[in-house]
Amino acid sequence: MADALKYSPLRFTITNEITMEVEITKSDLKTIVSKASRDNKFNAIKNALTKDIPSFLKKSKYLGWRYVKDGKHEESAYFAYFDRKIGVRTILAMRKMKNGGPYKPYAIIDQYVFENSIGELQKGTPL
Q: Per residue in 110-124, pLDDT tens?
A: 988 898 888 889 998
**Cα 72-73-79 angle, rounded to 5 deg:** 105
CA neighbor of 29 nearest in space, from 57, 53, 61: 53
Check if the beta carbon of residue 48 is closer than 8 Å to that of residue 88. Answer: no
For residue 17, the cross-strand partners are: none
Q: What is the pTM of this model?
A: 0.90
pLDDT tens track for 70-118: 667 677 889 999 999 887 899 999 999 888 889 999 999 998 889 888 8
pLDDT at residue 101, rounded to an integer: 87
More confident residue, 127 or 87: 87
Has residue 61 got a pLDDT over 70? yes
Boundaries of every domain in the chain: 2-117
